[in-house]
Structure 1
């Protein structure tokens, strides 16, 4: 009882001194969604504060991000043309390469991580080339075009490549092709343990990437499988990944801790659209102290072992931290 009383009597200054887990805005990456056109800023109904933006608006957004201390973004593209093989993803005039060049022209100090996938670019909404007999993604055929897309993105100025398809061997293939193309200095942040999750629903609205048939369970991770989830990340590390990732974050903090204890690589979590939308809905309904719950959630990611947090809350976190300086 005496020890408990002493602990409760600690001043706020002393509590701050012995705090074990801290948030730093430099650990955050903010996702952005590029769409063709000019002057476009379309808010996503299920994700208040998140927008589809044309390249010129994204350039303006980057200026605001820097005032908040955010210098890292994760860039997605919503193409004007989709087909069965996602051909626009391989074009150096596509929406993401165009946006990367526009950002770098005005903000060379912004670190751009380019998402590497095909679900936004295919008319069927799956993450690669379809095996018509098996009615699922052809793993090896997809690896070939993933590597091509990675070279296109690096040639446009991307600083980090983030493959998210969950194809077997994707990190090895991308690393091999990037090295051959003169991009051995570009790190790979692999979506190494990406679950087939219902938490992605709002993202598919903003990225216009819902599958037209079936689902992605044949190549994304089963939420029930802990050991397999760990193995997926360790396999990507062995293939040459520079940063590992767990996605989603909130329902998988046990997996974050499991992987953290088995690797010395930097570990990212993706605080996904469904997690963001739930907090926003609760805020609108007035049933939670939104800011406190948001910060508590971010702390849980760091406490579980994440070094990097990809989050739609990043700007709000930055404002919270700035207000307390």
Structure 2
């Protein structure tokens, strides 16, 4: 009777070069989108206490970040604004200001490094005095009235030079309306990256500190962001956004939703991105600061996990740090 050789999977793990030859998933700076908070305060940099290593940047400092992204090979930066509380109101009217912080930052960054893509968040929460992503009446978020305001916000961003409009509000029908508004003004070339499956998550806390909405937020966002218990609903949300004209889709948060990333990519084969959110970043940083984990290894492992799940790219606060390591 023939004696079959013993299968030893460890043979291919014994050297660095053999491990590299059989590696199924890659991670490069081209897979990273740098999430960056800009501020209208005078200081060029202002640390975010709950996110060690992350600063709010002035438009001039953001321009320097764009140059850094270009040098590191990071293809795009996603912008999020922190504005003076005195400019906030119930209507979030500052969101559409053509001379406001977001427009200033876009112009400064595109002037500094036009090769770097600029992605702009479309939602009202950084601009409202109640901290919600939409207009509110008697405690209820108004869907259609909010969508109208979001179209104005998206048009302002496109006029300022934004490359990618990224609606994160989770209002029904907003992708189609924004696409129509952009096209009607000759912005057919502007892309839409939809926050298609965005969950009502506990992992957003440090971000709300970073943009200054945490203290203002009244109630929660469960009537428009998704229930963390649901997966099939995520596919319905993604399918609708694709039908309305989304060029790319996103899952948010990241590590707790790797199953959603995999399902979305498998089901639609559309460019699919994932957001490693502020709470994920803060947990890794806090554990590393306490000596409980190797922070650098955990950072890279988490980013690789997104790629392994099927993500084409990752929005992350770690982008410049990771890119420096990946570049050797």
TM-score by length of 1: 0.95
Cα distance per residue 1:83-127 (max 9 Å; x no partner): 111111111011101111111222211210011110000001001
Deviation beyond 6 Å, 4+ runs, structure 1? none
Question: Whole-Å Cα distance in 2 between the matches of residues 119 and 185 of structure 1?
Answer: 27
- Offset of residue 8 of structure 1: 4.8
Q: How does 1:64-79 map to 2 (within 5 A)?
A: 64-79=68-83
Question: Whole-Å Cα distance in 2 between the matches of residues 117 and 9 of structure 1?
Answer: 47
Question: Whole-Å Cα distance in 1 between the matches of residues 323 and 57 of structure 2?
Answer: 21
Partner of 1:262, secondary structure, is helix
Question: Whole-Å Cα distance in 2 between the matches of residues 31 and 130 of structure 1?
Answer: 27
- Does the 8 Å CA contact 1:201/1:273 hold for their aligned counterparts? yes
Which residue does 2:254 correspond to in 1? 249
Which residue does 1:17 correspond to in 2? 21
- Offset of residue 60 of structure 1: 1.8
Which residue does 1:41 correspond to in 2? 45
- Does the 8 Å CA contact 2:70/2:115 hold for their aligned counterparts? no
Question: Whole-Å Cα distance in 2 between the matches of residues 171 and 28 of structure 1?
Answer: 24
Are positions 1:320 and 2:310 aligned together?
Answer: no
- Which deviates further from its counterpart, 228-237 or 272-281? 228-237
Partner of 2:8, secondary structure, is helix
Are positions 1:126 and 2:163 aligned together?
Answer: no
CA RMSD of aligned residues (A): 1.4
- Does the 8 Å CA contact 1:38/1:55 hold for their aligned counterparts? no
Ranges in structure 2 where 5+ consecutive residues have no aligned partner: none
- Does the 8 Å CA contact 1:37/1:54 hold for their aligned counterparts? yes
- Offset of residue 261 of structure 1: 1.0
- Offset of residue 5 of structure 1: 5.5
- Does the 8 Å CA contact 1:39/1:57 hold for their aligned counterparts? no
Q: How does 1:174-213 map to 2 (within 5 A)?
A: 174-210=178-214, 211-213=216-218
Question: Whole-Å Cα distance in 1 between the matches of residues 160 and 106 of structure 2?
Answer: 6
Which residue does 2:232 correspond to in 1? 227
Ranges in structure 1 where 5+ consecutive residues have no aligned partner: none
- Does the 8 Å CA contact 2:45/2:55 hold for their aligned counterparts? yes
Question: Whole-Å Cα distance in 1 between the matches of residues 325 and 295 of structure 2?
Answer: 12
- Does the 8 Å CA contact 2:83/2:211 hold for their aligned counterparts? no
Which residue does 2:95 correspond to in 1? 89
Question: Whole-Å Cα distance in 2 between the matches of residues 215 and 90 of structure 1?
Answer: 24
Which residue does 2:275 correspond to in 1? 270
TM-score by length of 2: 0.95
CA pair 53-230 structure 1, distance change in 2 beyond 3 A: same
